[in-house]
């Protein structure tokens, strides 16, 4: 740990990182350049094996608001953030990722708004730009409703509250519990489901930061990891999902789609038994999805034709993207 924590930081910013020495400076600088200055930045080094410590300590020597903490073992994003929450002295908690760049006025706008809101508003969150290749996507999308106030049902349909978009009352986080450390991914979705059950959310509907797509991001995991994660979240909150048949069906559609995608991977790798197993579970979880049943039925008789269909679809998608980019 570097230095002592200040005694009057209104905001504690928690930034977990692992082997991102090559990109983390952009994230840190965007925080230090905030127009709002009353914060502490707690950086949790989750047992990095690169020169992360050296990079961070260059900033902590220049600015005593920057605190470097190295975990004794790799805890994952949830565990690292939870360490930060426990150390935080701020009344409000903000989260940052090492591949995210805040606009200078992000914190000021969120703090000013949260200070004005009654205590039943536990979170102020913001819009942001997601950069994926040449695409620049604004989130949350226009079709989501409601996006503020009581958004529990909206969140059960899928997450649109990105972790770095959140400024939360520390009291609200202590009330609902921390990030679920059993989750290897989608831990932000599970947390906001719990927060939205007890607290109202307020949206600043404008981009306050940029999130860059990272090829080795934890949330790039798919396959069995995604399936297990979705099953865990659905089962943990089954009473909430079950209150609305449409929402419950949507949840199982997500699970079915994860099985379907894994089944396709097995087809392309000529693993017939596994592909049929996953495609069967895709149909079981979402029996109203025609493509699941069609691919499963075709695969029962001929894997080679199914493989050709998958390759054909991929070629069509690639060609469509090329035409769109060239236009």
Q: Are 178 and 81 in contact (CB under 8 A)?
A: yes
222-326, CATH topology level: 1.25.40
CA dist 180 → 81, 96, 123, 126, 163 (Å) = 10, 18, 18, 23, 14
| Cβ–Cβ < 8 Å for 56, 66 | yes
Quick one: CA dihedral 209, 213, 216, 220, positive or negative? positive
Higher pLDDT, 147 or 270: 147
pLDDT by residue (tens digit) across 221-235? Answer: 668 999 999 999 999
Hey, what are 2's tokens? Answer: 């570097």
**Do 167 and 94 form a contact (C-beta atoms < 8 A)?**
yes
**Alpha-carbon gap, residue 41 to 52, rounded angstroms:** 15
141-194 pLDDT, tens digit per residue, is: 999 999 999 999 999 999 999 999 999 999 999 999 999 999 999 999 999 999
Whose tokens are 């050296």? That residue is 54
Q: Is the pLDDT of residue 6 over 50?
A: no
pLDDT band for 270, please (50, 70, 90 cuts): confident
Can you give the pTM of this predicted structure? 0.88
The percent helix, strand, coil of the chain (3-state, each to 5) is 50, 20, 30
Range 11-214 classified under CATH 3.40.225.10? no
Closest CA to 20 of 130, 97, 102, 132: 97
Peptide bond into 146 cis (omega under 30): yes
Alpha-carbon 231 to chain mean position: 17
68-115: per-residue pLDDT in tens? Answer: 999 999 999 999 999 999 999 999 999 999 999 999 999 999 999 999
**Strand pairing report for 121-132 and 200-212:** parallel
What integer best gives the mean pLDDT of the chain? Answer: 91
Helices (H), the chain: 24-32, 52-62, 76-87, 106-116, 152-156, 170-176, 187-198, 223-236, 238-241, 245-268, 272-285, 290-301, 303-326
Asked whether the predicted pLDDT for residue 265 surpasses 70, the reply is: yes
Question: What local confidence, expressed as pLDDT, does residue 216 receive?
Answer: 59
240-262 pLDDT per residue, tens = 999 999 999 999 999 999 998 99
pLDDT in tens, 199-223: 999 999 999 999 998 765 555 566 8
Q: How far is CA 198 from CA 123, 148, 150, 193, 194, in A?
A: 11, 13, 9, 9, 7
Chain-centre distance for alpha carbon 305: 36
φ and ψ of 207, to 5 deg: -70, 120
CA angle (191 as vertex; 68, 140 as ends), nearest 5: 95
Higher pLDDT, 159 or 8: 159
DSSP 21: T
What pLDDT was estimated at residue 181? 96
Question: What is the pLDDT, as a whole number, of residue 221?
Answer: 60
∠ CA 187-49-224 to the nearest 5 degrees? 35
Residue-range domain boundaries for the chain: 11-214, 222-326
Pick the residue with more confidence: 9 or 108?
108
DSSP at 222? -
**Three-state DSSP class for 162?**
coil
Check pLDDT > 60 for residue 5.
Answer: no
Q: Tens of pLDDT along 302-326?
A: 877 777 777 676 676 666 666 666 6
Q: Quick one: 318 exposed, middle or buried, by C-beta within 10 A (0-12, 13-18, 19+)?
A: exposed
pLDDT of residue 1: 40
Q: How far apart are CA 18 and CA 290, in angstroms?
A: 41
Of the candidate ranges 73-82, 85-94, 122-131, 265-274, the one whose mean pLDDT is the lowest: 265-274
User: Any idea which of 2-6, 39-43, 136-140 has the lowest mean pLDDT?
Assistant: 2-6
Query: On the CB side of 112, how many CA atoms lie within 13 Å of its CA?
Result: 9
| Confidence (pLDDT) at 92 | 98
């Amino acid at each position: 740990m570097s230095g002592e924590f200040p005694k009057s930081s209104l905001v504690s910013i928690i930034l977990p990182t692992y082997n991102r020495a090559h990109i983390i400076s952009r994230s840190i600088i965007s925080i230090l350049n905030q127009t709002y200055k009353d914060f502490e930045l707690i950086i949790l080094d989750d047992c990095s094996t690169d020169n992360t410590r050296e990079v961070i300590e260059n900033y902590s020597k220049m600015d005593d608001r920057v605190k470097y903490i190295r975990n004794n073992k790799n805890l994952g994003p949830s565990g690292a953030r939870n360490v930060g929450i426990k150390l935080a002295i701020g009344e409000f908690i903000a989260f940052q990722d090492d591949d995210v760049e805040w606009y200078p006025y992000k914190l000021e706008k969120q703090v000013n708004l949260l200070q004005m809101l009654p205590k039943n508003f536990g979170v102020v969150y913001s819009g942001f730009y997601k950069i994926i290749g040449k695409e620049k996507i604004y989130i949350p999308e226009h079709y989501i409703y409601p996006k503020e106030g009581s958004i529990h049902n909206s969140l059960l349909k899928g997450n649109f509250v990105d972790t770095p978009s959140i400024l939360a009352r520390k009291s609200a986080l202590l009330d609902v519990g921390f990030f679920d450390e059993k989750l290897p991914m989608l831990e932000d979705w599970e947390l906001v489901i719990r927060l939205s059950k007890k607290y109202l959310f307020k949206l600043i509907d404008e981009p306050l930061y940029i999130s860059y797509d990272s090829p080795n991001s934890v949330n790039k995991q798919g396959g069995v990891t995604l399936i297990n994660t979705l099953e865990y979240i659905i089962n943990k909150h089954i009473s909430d999902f079950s209150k609305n048949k449409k929402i419950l069906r949507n949840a199982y559609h997500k699970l079915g789609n994860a099985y379907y995608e894994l089944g396709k991977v097995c087809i392309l790798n000529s693993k017939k038994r596994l592909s049929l197993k996953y495609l069967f579970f895709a149909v079981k979880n979402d029996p109203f999805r025609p493509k699941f049943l069609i691919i499963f039925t075709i695969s029962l008789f001929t894997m080679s034709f199914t493989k050709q269909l998958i390759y054909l679809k991929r070629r069509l998608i690639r060609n469509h993207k090329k035409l769109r980019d060239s236009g």
